[in-house]
């Protein structure tokens, strides 16, 4: 009858953990640079802004890399997390849309240092093609497929206006890209093997506004001034 297991957690690492590993990694790299040899879960958790039990459980998914009574070896943990996240290899990224955001991204130095190489910056606007941004020459969107193949691009970044985003995404997918980071405020349609992550600044602001309004309601509320019933938001959950 072949009962399909609900989701065999393909190799064991929960999505929520994956999202936190980069935060731990950053904290560990800072420790490493300051020469700290080992760190306790309590200390590292504090720097990462999480509960120490959660941190230990997260790390336990990678294996037993701690020493009881001592803590974790910083250098070793840096390596293990990097390996698990796939940062021991380099990844080529193509950015489409050389507007405000695309240029800011291309100019940002923080990517290269983490194994992400910006292979191309493409745009549809002829006037922009050829511009030099951060040592990169803006290419024409029609070269997308060629660039993806030639540069072995595996991550596509969409920084075009909303109305162009789906078409750009389709071209990425058609060219074989299976990971997309989308800044345009639209829901992208992709086949199931493609991962899409979206960054939507308007949504972030709207969520903040929601909580802000709630706080204000509490403050100006009719007859429960100063009650401070419950923390008005998820308080600090970054």
Ligand X SMILES: NC(=O)c1ccc[n+]([C@@H]2O[C@H](COP(=O)([O-])OP(=O)(O)OC[C@H]3O[C@@H](n4cnc5c(N)ncnc54)[C@H](O)[C@@H]3O)[C@@H](O)[C@H]2O)c1
Residues that bind DNA (CB under 7 A): 6-7, 9, 14-17, 40-42, 50-54, 56-57, 59-60, 64-72
Q: Is residue 144 near ligand X by the rule CB under 6 A? A: no
Q: Among all chains, which residue has been given the structure tokens 């929960």?
A: 14
Q: Which of 1, 3, 10, 69 lies at the binding interface for a second copy (CB under 8 A)?
A: 10
DSSP 49: T
Residue 128 contact partner, candidates DNA, ligand X, a second copy, none, CB within 5 to 8 A by sort of partner = ligand X
CB of 69 to a second copy, least distance (A): 27
Q: Is residue 184 near ligand X by the rule CB under 6 A? A: yes
CB of 200 to a second copy, least distance (A): 8
Q: Is residue 100 near ligand X by the rule CB under 6 A? A: yes
Spatial distance between the Cα atoms of 107 and 134, rounded to a whole number of angstroms:
5
CB nearer to a second copy: pick between 69 and 127: 127
Q: Among all chains, which residue has been given the structure tokens 């040592």?
A: 135
CB of 35 to a second copy, least distance (A): 18
3-state helix, strand and coil shares in percent for the chain, rounded to the nearest 5: 45, 15, 40
Phi, psi (rounded to 5 degrees) for 38? -135, 160
CB nearer to ligand X: pick between 42 and 131: 131
Phi, psi (rounded to 5 degrees) for 67? -120, 120
The stretch near ligand X (CB under 6 A) out of 6-14, 20-28, 31-39, 118-126 is 118-126
Phi, psi (rounded to 5 degrees) for 39? -145, 140
Spatial distance between the Cα atoms of 87 and 79, rounded to a whole number of angstroms:
9
Spatial distance between the Cα atoms of 89 and 86, rounded to a whole number of angstroms:
6
Q: Which of 128, 133, 153, 169 lies at the binding interface for ligand X (CB under 6 A)?
A: 128
CB of 209 to ligand X, least distance (A): 15
Check if the beta carbon of residue 57 is closer than 8 Å to that of residue 67. no
Q: Please indicate if the annotation marks 181 as binding a ligand.
A: no
CB nearer to ligand X: pick between 101 and 180: 101
């Amino acid at each position: 009858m072949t009962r399909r297991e609900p989701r065999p957690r393909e190799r064991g690492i929960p999505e929520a953990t994956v999202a936190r590993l980069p935060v731990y990694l950053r904290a560990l790299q800072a420790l490493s640079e300051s020469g700290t040899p080992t760190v306790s879960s309590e200390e590292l958790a504090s720097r990462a802004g999480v509960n120490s039990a959660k941190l230990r459980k997260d790390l336990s998914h990678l294996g037993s890399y701690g020493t009881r009574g001592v803590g974790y070896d910083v250098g070793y943990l840096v390596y293990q997390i990097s390996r698990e996240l796939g940062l021991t290899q380099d990844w080529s990224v193509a950015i489409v849309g050389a507007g405000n955001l695309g240029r800011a991204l291309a100019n940002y130095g923080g990517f290269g240092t983490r194994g992400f190489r910006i292979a191309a910056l493409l745009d549809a606007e002829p006037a922009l093609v050829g511009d030099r941004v951060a040592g990169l020459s803006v290419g024409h969107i029609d070269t997308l497929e060629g660039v993806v193949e030639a540069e072995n691009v595996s991550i596509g970044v969409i920084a075009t206006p909303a109305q162009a985003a789906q078409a750009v995404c389709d071209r990425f997918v058609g060219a074989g890209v299976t990971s997309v980071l989308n800044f345009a405020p639209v829901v992208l349609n992709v086949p199931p093997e493609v991962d899409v992550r979206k960054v939507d600044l308007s949504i972030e602001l709207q969520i903040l506004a929601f909580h802000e309004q709630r706080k204000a309601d509490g403050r100006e509320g009719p007859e429960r001034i100063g009650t401070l019933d419950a923390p008005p938001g998820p308080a600090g959950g970054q």
